[in-house]
Amino acid sequence: MKKTILASAIAAATFSGAVMAQESNLPTVYGNIQYAIAHDNVDGGPSAIEHFDNGSTLGVTHEHQIAPGITGFFKIELEGINADDKSASNGIDGLDEAYIGIKGDSFGQLWVGSDDSTYESAVDEIAQFYEVATLSIGAAGYSTGEGDLIQYLSPNFGGLTVGAAVQVNGDNDNKGTGQKSYPFQLAAMYNVDALELAFAVDSNDNGGDNENTYGLRASYNLDNLRVTGEYHTRKDAFDKFGLMGVYTLGKNQFALSYEMAEADNSDSTKWDTITLQALHNVSDHMYVYFEGYIGGGDDVYDYNFERADSDDFDASAGVSDERAIAAVGAVYYF
């Protein structure tokens, strides 16, 4: 999962490194190691404690001028390092992002490959913000995914930008169905002064009921405080709402959010999550954090730590209406 503060820090470091690298036409290498310890407890049921790699990655970026005003770029980011336990690691065995593209001030940006999707980038902020995010409710089932994407982002027209993505699923790509599909996403983002507004839609045309997912986000920045509200809906699936505030004080960051969801089923199953984060930047390359989660609802957690909307949920194992997680972690990045 993309971590907002880490992504921002890496972007800043990558930009400064890219300036030097571009002078010598060398790629920019970046990376991070992320460790976390979490205590997970299901009310009336089991509890567990785990030390784990929370998404360590290693990446390379590069860009060059193709013609005046036109820049070509690429990025590849690898994961699956399992930095917490070398006996369980086979080295780097996963891919997070990989794409190539072109950009220019006059036509925007076009890129192809695996990356955060247009819907996710536009309106799915709260779930993507937290480090551990185990109980975060997230958006309402947008399923286009992050691979085989062709994406476009327009230039800024007086604060308005639009984005589009299409996923090209060939005969052998569409979840084993043997059917071609071309699910798409559309988004519009508008920024004026301290206010941000965004709307996005995912067609979900890659199997299942193909019902669209719609998302809205509004964010407001006031000095050191950022407030974000989200709403996501998909017919015959879920309606989800979230509200988050983030306050920055020197090297410290504090966040609090509330997320609520209601399923479109016969029981109108409801669940919610309250999340708290306290984060401290130790230096320009390292930060530590604490996160606490309390999740409740209508018997929506089983005794195997699975939520009712998971394919692995097993009510016969025992169910509970409350689950709590406390996590501490540290990240070093360059």
Q: Using DSSP, state whether 69 is helix, strand or coil.
A: coil
Contact 297, 321 (CB under 8 A): yes
Contact 168, 36 (CB under 8 A): no
- pLDDT 10s digits, 29-63: 999 999 999 999 999 999 999 999 999 999 999 99
Please give the residue range of the domain that contains residue 146. Answer: 4-333
Nearest CA-CA partner of 259 in 235, 279, 275: 275
Which residues, 6 or more positions from 139, have their beta carbon under 8 angstroms from its beta carbon?
119, 120, 123, 124, 127, 213, 215, 230, 232, 240
For residue 5, name the pLDDT band (cuts at 50, 70, 90).
low
- pLDDT 10s digits, 294-313: 999 888 898 998 888 788 88
Contact 102, 69 (CB under 8 A): no
Contact 198, 217 (CB under 8 A): yes
Q: Is this prediction's pTM over 0.95? A: no
| Identity of residue 319 | V
> Encoding tokens for residue 202?
């995912």
Q: Spell out the long-range contacts of 231-234 with Cβ–Cβ below 8 A and sequence spacing 24 or more.
A: 232/123, 232/124, 232/139, 232/140, 232/142, 233/140, 234/140, 234/141, 234/142, 234/204
- pLDDT 10s digits, 202-239: 998 876 677 899 999 999 999 999 999 999 999 888 89
What is the number of domains present in the chain? 1
Q: Using DSSP, state whether 269 is helix, strand or coil.
A: coil
CA distance 272 to 204: 25
Tell me which of 15-24, 73-82, 128-137, 268-277 is least confident: 15-24
For position 15, what pLDDT does the model report? 46
Contact 247, 270 (CB under 8 A): no
Q: What is the CATH number of the domain that holds 36?
A: 2.40.160.10
* pLDDT for residue 10 is more than 60: no
Which residues, 6 or more positions from 11, have their beta carbon under 8 angstroms from its beta carbon?
none
* pLDDT for residue 20 is more than 90: no
For residue 71, name the pLDDT band (cuts at 50, 70, 90).
very high
